[in-house]
Structures are given as C-alpha cells and as structure tokens.
Structure 1
Amino acid sequence: MALMRIGNKIVGEGRSTLMFAEEGQANQGDVEVAIGMCNTAAKVGADGIEYQLFLADDMYVRNDPGHAIYKSRELSSTQITDLIAATHAAGLLCQVAGLSPKIIELCAEAGADVFCVNASDLTNPVIIDAVAATGKPFWLATLMATTEEIDWAVEYAMSRCRSDIGLLHGQHVMSSDTSRGVPPELLQLDCIELFKRRYGLVTGFVDHTATQFVPSIASAKGAAMVMKHLAPEKNWQGPDWVVCLDPEAWKDARSMLEYTVQANGASKEISQAEFKDRSIHRRSIHTSAALSAGHQITPDDLVVLRPGKGGMDPRVVHELVGRRVKHDLPKQSQLQFEDLV
C-alpha cells in the first residue's frame, strides 16, 4: 500500500484526498499578492498551496524574451522565507515547484513541506537532484511526458533519494491560443490507477480544466491529491487564468471533492442506518392459507411477503417443504421455526 507523508498529513491508499490551491505565478512578482493568495486558499478550505518559484538566470538564456519576463517576477530570498512562514501561519501545507536549484535549497531551509519537479523539468536530472538533496517528499509531474520519460524519471529519482516520492498525472495545453483548458477526451483519468499499478507510487492529479467537478472525479478515480488553480478574485485575468477558479467556485469544487471522499470506500458492511430499512423492505416466509396441526408443507403453502422483521429468512423457503406444522396456523401467518415439528 503506497503512502506518502507531507508535513502532518499522510496521503495514499485509504486516506482522504488532499486538495491544494495552485498559485502558480498569479503573484507576478508581488509577494503581497502571493500572501493574499495564501490567505484566500485557507479561507476556501485548501489543504495546501503550491508556489512556482525560480531564478530567471537558471531558466533562460539572457537574450530570450522569457528571461526578462521571469526576471520581473522573481521574489527575493527574504520574501520567499516570509511567504513560507505566512503559509504555515495560515494553516496550510507549503508546496514549491522550484525551477532553480538555489531556490529549492532556500525553500527547504525555510521549511517548505513538499516539492514538485515541474513537468518541464521531468527529464532534468539537475532539478531532480536538487529536490532529492533536500530530504523532503516530492512529486514528479508527468504532464506532457511520454511513458518512457516517466519510466526514466521514476527510476532516476528513486536511485537518488530515500524520501517519499509521488507522481502527478495531468495535461498541459495552455499554450494554445484557443484553449479553455483540457477537454474531457484528453483527461485520461484512468492513468491514475495505471500509474499506481505500474510504479507502486502515490499518485495525484493536476487539474487544468475550467471546471469545478473534475477534482471530485479525479478523487473517485483514486487521486491522492488534486491541484487546482486559484484566482485571487472573480473575473481576474493573469497567468493560466483560463483554468483558474475564483474563490467561491474553488470552495464549491472543494465541497464536491469532500462529498466524493466521503462516498468512496470498498467496505460492504451494513451501516446502522440500513438496518431499519432492512426490517421494513426485506421479506419473510408466511403461510399462503390456513394450515392445520400436522399438515405437511407443500410449495403452495408458503409465500414470501413483507415484513421481514422477526420472520424466517426467505433463503430457507425450499428447505421447509415436507416439514409438518406443530399447531394450527392462520392464513398469512409469519412462520417461525417453533411452528414446525
């Protein structure tokens, strides 16, 4: 049974699905926005929040337009330390998708609970080595990856560390100008169970749809943790805004997931609430006509009717044929074993 400890939580088989708010880069370099996102995530019931943190020099060559964009969104070491402290103060687990080895080391020292090897770095041993070196649990995000690449990443990661490792299934299609998130035919939610069987690892899901209900479906499919983008406010537009839920919608998605978690379970033990219904709706064996003492029972003498409570289980009706009645019985009498010789 695969389990994974994240801070004070244990996720995996038989445990409740966690739901993390994905802040991503909604802050765009403003730490106060990031802290506000953290407090919003706590209010809507998130278990944790993920921040994507980086150094532009570790991501792009300097003449690429991406370098300037990411340079403008960097947070300082002090700001990152304060952000992680604020996350814990809000009662949330802190997950970091670190895109720089230096940032990963800093976040580990500042108390980040769990790391995520971003899907863009699944085949990057430098980042995997950096998160492995922290000794913290981490996820390998498999979005955009082939099975061969996932096989490599799992084997490599497991050979480099002894900490808990999990997989995150999902898809990343936001680069399309016409995209409104992942369409249902591309969700491939059965991969959650496939990954658990293939790798024996705890498996979660990154929800890049524009819906409220997919997190609960992913939970029903066995996801140990679901990540869902959170917008700072209604009608906000920013990075990945097409797959973000505003706070109220995110809270509704969380409620749907909690309902699903409560509905999961493979036990078929009868609940206390069902016993009354059993007594009302089940049947028992009755006489179809008045029977005299000494009468030998035939199939036509018996009928199975409600109520069932207090009577004989219908499963024995055929075994009663040939038995004799001990005393006179009226029509539609609920038969008892003491009525028989």
Structure 2
Amino acid sequence: MKPEISIAGRPIGQDFAPYIIAELSANHNGKLETALKIIEEAAKAGADAVKLQTYRPDTITLDSDADEFKIKGGLWDGRTLYELYEEAHMPWEWHKPLFEHANKVGIPIFSSPFDTTAVDLLEDLNAPAYKIASFEAVDLPLIRYVAKTGKPMIISTGMADAEEIQEAIDAARSGGCTQLAILHCVSGYPAPAEDYNLRTIGDMIERFGLVTGLSDHTLDNTTAIASVVLGASIIEKHFTLDRNGGGPDDSFSLEPGALAALCRDSKTAWKALGKVDYGRKSSEEGNVQFRRSLYFVQDVTAGQTIEKEMVRSVRPGYGAAPKLLDQIVGKRAKIDIASCSPVRLSDLAD
C-alpha cells in the first residue's frame, strides 16, 4: 500500500493529485496587507495550502556581527544573520489575522516553526500541520516537540544526508508523529536544476517508505513538474506578488501566473501517469478506422485464386489485418469482389 497523509481533510500521496504549497516566506516585505494579498492570490491560483515561517530574529540566531554570523556570497552577501532575519521575519501579531484571512478565502494555512515558542503560538491558532525547514532538520529536539502536537509533519531535507534524514524521521516517530512526509530539497537560493538529481526522489520513497515531495528553489516550474513523474506527491514553491519586489526571497519566487501554471501542469503530469495499460484508449476509438488493413486492388471473380499482387495493405482499417496476408494468398474467392473492396475472410474459401 502506498503511504499517504492528510492535511485539513485533503489526502496526500501518489494516488492523489500533487499537493501544492505556496511558501509566503519573507515575501510580505514588511507589510501585512501584502501578506494578506499573497494568501488571496495563492488561493486563486489553485494552491492547496499557503505556508508561513514563524520565528523572531532572536529565536533563530544571535545579534552578533562576528565573522561566523555574516553571510558570505549569494543573494544576502555581507549581511549578518540577525539583520536578515529581522527584515524577513513574520511578526507574531500578524499570525492570527493571516490565519483568519486564509480561512475566509478557503485555503489551509500552516507554518514552519523555528523554536518551541513558535510551535506554542501555532498550536493556539490550531495549525493543521507543521513543516520543518531544511536548516532545522538536524534540530531533533524541535522535531520531537512538533511531533507531540499529533499534527501531520513535513520535513525538508536540504543539506541532510541519508543518515541525518533517518535521524529526523526517527525523532518524529519517537515523538508520536503518525503522519509524516519528507521533501527532497536543494538549499540554494536559487538552485540550478542540475543540482536537484531528481532520481533521488524514487530512492527516498523506497528507502524511507514515506510520502515524498519536492521543495523547489529553481526559477521555473520544469523541475517541479518533472518530480511528479518520479513520484513526488508534494511540491513547495516560494510565492510572491512581484519577483522584482526587492524582498530577500522575491527574486526566486513564483508570481501568480506561474503558480497557477504549476497547479495546472503538475496535475496534468500526474493524470498522465495513470496506470500500466496496453488497451485501446477512449480517445483512440474514432481513429481505429484509419489503421492499415488489406484491400483488393483488382477485380476478382468467384472461384479465382488470390495472388499476392491482388491485395495491398492500405488505410482505412475495415479489411482483414495485414498480418493475415500469407493466409489469404492462395485462397479462392467465393463471390465476385470489386477492386478497392476490403478483404473479408468470409468471402474466401480454401
């Protein structure tokens, strides 16, 4: 039996359409009204859920400008961790109105907590699930604390090796989590498609036996849609109103049109997978007549022996199958047969 979980009543697994998570992350850019609008647009695009990140700068790092607290290279080069998270964090007082707005527009909302106090806040808001971010996949005490809520948990595995992934799974299980999923992830922002090694998804499914998906940081939808063919049941993508908005995550996030395309195209890819089936499909029925079959290319009189040059394999498909040609040659016509008539075995005799 294929593994599955359920979030807010929506079943998730390979037997169901991909579960699309719109990651709001830091794309609010310090404005509550922007965050509210992102939720609305995620719902309009057809996403299955919207996800927040719940932390304060002092719950995720220390206020230090020591060298090890400075970011080197990439989008955020030169900034301290505290400065970045001060700008990017979702104010805790916003969570309640965001949850209320998501309920109003009809899209489930949950979050990635980064410490136990964040879990407590989200429990007060009755979050239906939890996501463990890649950087926190090694924080086993946090995973166990989340597991004790009894809610479904999704663990992102960016930077984690197979042993660390297993440790995170074991921590979730030991804490009481019964509905667990993992996401293949590359923690680059953005990440090049060639880094994703999507064949890993199939190995993860076989190795860990869990609902498995993709946290995708590439710039378009190709990698995410391809992952569905390899068994991904969840796709998480950062989502923004404007990729040129100037926020820390905007540049590698999807805009509304691209998110709608992801929701549509990933489901099309899933439907196309179908099942092993060599039978004739409903869309083919009208074209069966255009297959090749055997037709007479000469007039034939009753009693005449059929010779090979009298018959050809042509379209349409109303005559005998071409594979029967050798059986037909040498038989005699029972009746007069006009040229351009289909070969019918009932008109022939040995």
TM exceeds 0.5?
Answer: yes
Once residues 322 and 113 of structure 1 are traced to their aligned partners in structure 2, the CA distance between those partners, rounded to angstroms, is 75
Shift of 1:51: 0.4
Question: 331, 335, 341: which one pairs with 1:327?
Answer: 335
Q: TM-score, normalised by structure 1?
A: 0.87
CA contact (8 A) 2:12 2:211 kept: yes
Q: 1:272 — aligned with what?
A: 282
Once residues 253 and 216 of structure 1 are traced to their aligned partners in structure 2, the CA distance between those partners, rounded to angstroms, is 7
Question: CA separation of 1:161/1:317 partners in 2, compared to 1, >3 Å: closer, same or farther?
Answer: farther
Q: 5+ unaligned residues in a row in structure 2: which ranges? A: 70-79
Alignment of 1:133-282 (within 5 A): 133-174=148-189, 181-233=190-242, 235-266=244-275, 267-279=277-289, 281-282=290-291
Give percent identity, aligned residues only. 25
Alignment of 1:1-341 (within 5 A): 1-27=2-28, 30-61=31-62, 63=64, 66-67=81-82, 70=85, 73=89, 75-76=91-92, 79-174=94-189, 181-233=190-242, 235-266=244-275, 267-279=277-289, 281-309=290-318, 311-341=319-349
Q: TM-score, normalised by structure 2?
A: 0.84
CA contact (8 A) 1:12 1:202 kept: yes
CA contact (8 A) 1:105 1:130 kept: no
Residue 324 of structure 1 aligns to which amino acid in structure 2?
R
Once residues 161 and 322 of structure 1 are traced to their aligned partners in structure 2, the CA distance between those partners, rounded to angstroms, is 77
Once residues 271 and 31 of structure 1 are traced to their aligned partners in structure 2, the CA distance between those partners, rounded to angstroms, is 51
Question: Size of the alignment, in residue pairs?
Answer: 332
Once residues 41 and 102 of structure 2 are traced to their aligned partners in structure 1, the CA distance between those partners, rounded to angstroms, is 11
CA contact (8 A) 2:152 2:177 kept: no
Question: CA separation of 1:201/1:336 partners in 2, compared to 1, >3 Å: closer, same or farther?
Answer: same
Once residues 305 and 83 of structure 1 are traced to their aligned partners in structure 2, the CA distance between those partners, rounded to angstroms, is 66
Name the stretch that deviates more: 83-92 or 254-263.
254-263
Shift of 1:171: 0.6
Once residues 30 and 150 of structure 2 are traced to their aligned partners in structure 1, the CA distance between those partners, rounded to angstroms, is 28
Secondary structure of the corresponding residue to residue 244 of structure 2: coil
CA contact (8 A) 1:297 1:323 kept: yes
Once residues 245 and 274 of structure 1 are traced to their aligned partners in structure 2, the CA distance between those partners, rounded to angstroms, is 37
Shift of 1:172: 1.1
Secondary structure of the corresponding residue to residue 112 of structure 1: coil
Q: 5+ unaligned residues in a row in structure 1: which ranges? A: 175-180
CA contact (8 A) 1:213 1:256 kept: no
Shift of 1:295: 3.5
Shift of 1:53: 0.4
Residue 272 of structure 2 aligns to which amino acid in structure 1?
A
Shift of 1:29: 5.7
Shift of 1:223: 1.8
Shift of 1:189: 1.6
Shift of 1:241: 2.2
Once residues 333 and 66 of structure 1 are traced to their aligned partners in structure 2, the CA distance between those partners, rounded to angstroms, is 82
